[in-house]
Structure 1
Amino acid sequence: MRPFRSLGTYVALFVGLAGVFLALYAWRLPPFDSSVERTNDAYVRGQVTVIAPQLAGIVAEVAVQDYETVEAGQLIARLDDRIFAQRVAQARAGLAGQKAALANSQQQRQSSLAKIAASEAAVKSAASAAENASANFARVQPLARQGYVPGSDLDVATRQNSQAEAALDQAKAQLEVARQDLQTVIVNRQTLEAAVDNAEAAVKLAEIDLANTRILAPRAGQLGEVGVKAGQYVQAGTQLTSVVPDAIWVVANFKETQLPGMQVGQPVRFTVDAFGGREMTGHIERFAPATGSEFAVLRPDNATGNFTKVAQRVPVRIRIDPGQPRMDDLSPGLSVVVFVDTAAEPDTRQASANGG
């Protein structure tokens, strides 16, 4: 075969071969295939907690500034608590009134018991009087029939016997009334006890509302931008600021075609764009239970129209190895580029710690 005589031919041949090798490298085809999977669809994540009031009111004090580091329980802001303090006082007064009514019910119970005792004594007295009147009537009646006593004595004995029986019935009725009064007091006491419980709950609710006028940091971390000012009226749920704890991790969204060979516990390398490409290390902690599209609010409907297959991405959570330089500078939302060698042996300690 005759060699090429034109320099342009060699240049064209070189460019063609370079294009072929570049395409092979881009698609990771032999001889450029590699076990290292890479994605730039990865970000630092953290538990960003939004701080909001549970009450509506006027902001009386803002005790922090933007990006300040706070401890758990530290005051963030305070609402005007005058109304809520008066509600606590009102609830406590209501509780005192209900307790007084309950104490009065106890006195009524004792009084009812005394009335029952008095009525029982009255029944015994009336029974004794009725017995005497009946005995007197039994003596006078045969004597009156034989003419030994005048008829007026029989009338008196008869009347006294009837009055004694009526007095006994009346005493028994009063005893029953006293017993029913006691039962009424007992039933009313249950109502009063329930009212006391309700008043105690009202006091606790009022105290909770008063405590909620002090908006505290739920955990230690660094605040975001503080978006509230003193004198501002806020509604319940209004976002005041956010707190970002120190706990951070990386979430890398790998294509489903990149997952073969990935295991929990495998080592990971990643570079941080904000650090000028500084490389850091970590380990795969766990895989998402579904692809990212399954968690989307509007999921694609592949059952209609023409279908074009699109490689889905699966979020992979990566634990950042502790003790690395600039760990304190990592913030949720930073972009990273993640590299995973699918041929690397997983760390069994990492896998067992995460259920792998």
Structure 2
Amino acid sequence: MEEKTQKSNNRKRKILALIVFASMALIGLIATIIYIQYKKTHITTDNAFIDGDIYTIASKIPGTVKAIHVDTNQFVKKGTLLLEIDPSDYEVKIKEANAGVNAEKARLSEIDAQITAEKTRLSELLSILDVAKANLEMAEATMKQAESDKNRAVNLYKKDSISKERYEKAMTEYLVSVAKFKSAKEELNRYQKAIETQKSVIKQVEALRNAQSSLIKEKEAKLNTAELNYSYTKIYAPSDGYITKKSVEVGNQIQTGQPLMAIVSLDDIYVTANYKETQLERVKPGQRVKIKVDTYPGKVFWGKVDSIMAGTGAVFSLFPPENATGNYVKVVQRIPVKIVFEKNSDPEHILRIGMSVVPTILIEKE
């Protein structure tokens, strides 16, 4: 009897164990299926960091630092005065350039006055030329009349119709009229040449004026450069952000392009997530992203895929791999994906560049 009871209990235990094993296998299978389905619609990685714009503040001119108005880690607004360079040398250059411009403008005024005088002289010569033309026409008419009178006197004198005195008078008047005509013609030619010469003088002076105008533009360009360099003695914040990497003190001699500090903007931060190339088959811009930040456990941020880099991270590294040489070992490559945050102004959870995050891209089911 006891043997039968023991066999029955053993059989029940085996059945129970089989049921438990089958249940666990079924649960495992269901969990595996759920996990696989989850992985299809949730693309995640822990190789991701918060990134953003870092503005390097550098001087555009050499000089001595006169004043610094910010400290490390201080928040500044766009347009805040950060640093001043001693402007003394640049003020002197502005004065010198301004004096040069004024001197050349004064010279231009002299040239303009000369042009006015030369044009006035040309107008006078043109008026005299009109008189000379009138005189020539009158002299020509007088000469023709005298020639006619002379010819008539010659004919009459041959016929003894006039006296010798009258004949000689007609001849004299004719010769005088010819001389006056020649004189009037020479005078007209002289004034015509004088006018051409005067026009040439005016052209020369106008060319001088053009050259002077060009010289003034050069001087004004130097003045503009001097004023621009003077404006560079004050350096302003290009964006809202926090001061970092401050490496300058009052009295330091700085050079053009020397980094002085940096501004980290927290308004335009984003996530750079390095996904495996095998994860990106269905990833595309615009997809929503769930973001967890290691600094704030339990807090969830939301964003969306902005863009996917055109190449792997290795390709753009300082020393890209040379797969054509040596023994090749296949390694899954990672491709950076840019993820932008949805507007978030939570003052209790400030996101800073370099923080580690875990983004999960939500893929819609097809």
TM-score range, shorter chain: 0.7 to 0.9
Corresponding letter in the other structure for 2:193: A
The residue correspondences of 1:277-356 to structure 2 (distance < 5 A) are: 277-290=297-310, 291-323=312-344, 328-342=349-363
Corresponding residue to 2:135 among 125, 129, 132: 129
With over 3 angstroms needed to count, the CA separation of the structure-2 counterparts of 1:81 and 1:344, relative to structure 1, is: farther
Choose from 164, 168, 172 the match for 1:149: 168
Alignment partner, residue 17 of structure 2: none
1:289 offset after TM fit, Å?
A: 3.2
2:44 matched to which residue of 1? 38
Range with greater deviation from structure 2 (284-293 or 252-261): 284-293
Aligned to 1:60: 66
- CA deviation profile, 1:258-289 (whole Å, cap 9, x unmatched): 223434444433433344x4442223322323
Tell me by how many angstroms 1:342 deviates. Answer: 4.0
187-196 vs 217-226, greater mean Cα deviation = 187-196
2:226 aligned to which of 199, 206, 221: 206
Structure 1 CA distance for aligned equivalents of residues 325 and 35 of structure 2: 39
Among candidates 251, 254, 267, match of residue 272 of structure 2 = 251
Counterpart position of 2:255: 235
Question: If the length of structure 2 is used for normalisation, what is the TM-score?
Answer: 0.76
| Residue 97 of structure 2, aligned match among 88, 91, 104 | 91
- The TM-score with structure 1 as length reference comes to 0.78
SS at match of 1:219: coil
Bigger Rg over Cα: 2
Q: Would the alpha carbon gap of residues 304 and 128 (structure 1) be closer, same or farther in structure 2, given more than 3 Å must change?
A: same
Give the Cα–Cα distance (whole angstroms) in 1 for the partners of residues 362 and 120 of structure 2. 91
2:114 maps to 1:108: yes
> 1:328: how far off?
4.9
SS in 1 for 2:48: strand
Amino acid at match of 1:314: I
How well do the aligned residues superpose, as a CA RMSD in angstroms? Answer: 3.1
Unaligned runs of 5+ in 1: 1-20, 346-356
Matched-pair contact (CA < 8 Å) for 1:251–1:316? yes
Q: CA deviation at 1:96?
A: 1.9
Q: CA deviation at 1:159?
A: 4.0
**C-alpha separation between the residues in 2 aligned to 1:324 and 1:204?**
43
Q: Summarize deviations over 1:57-94 as a string: whole Å, max 9, x none.
A: 11111111111111111111111111111111222222
Provide, for residues 306-335 of structure 1, a one-character-per-residue CA deviation record: whole Å limited to 9, x for no partner: 322211111122223444756653211122
Alignment length (residue pairs)? 320
Of 74, 77, 80, the residue aligned with 1:74 is 80
Query: C-alpha separation between the residues in 2 aligned to 1:289 and 1:80?
Result: 45
Shift of 1:120: 1.2
Would the aligned equivalents of 2:304 and 2:342 in 1 still touch at CA under 8 Å?
no
Q: Percent identity?
A: 26
- Aligned partner of 2:355: which letter? L
Name the stretch that deviates more: 62-71 or 200-209: 200-209
Distance 1:113 1:102, change over 3 A: same
8 Å CA contact 1:287, 1:314 repeated in 2: no
Q: Distance in 1 between matches of 2:313 and 2:168?
A: 117
Q: 2:281 & 2:177 partners in 1: Cα distance?
A: 117
SS at match of 1:309: coil
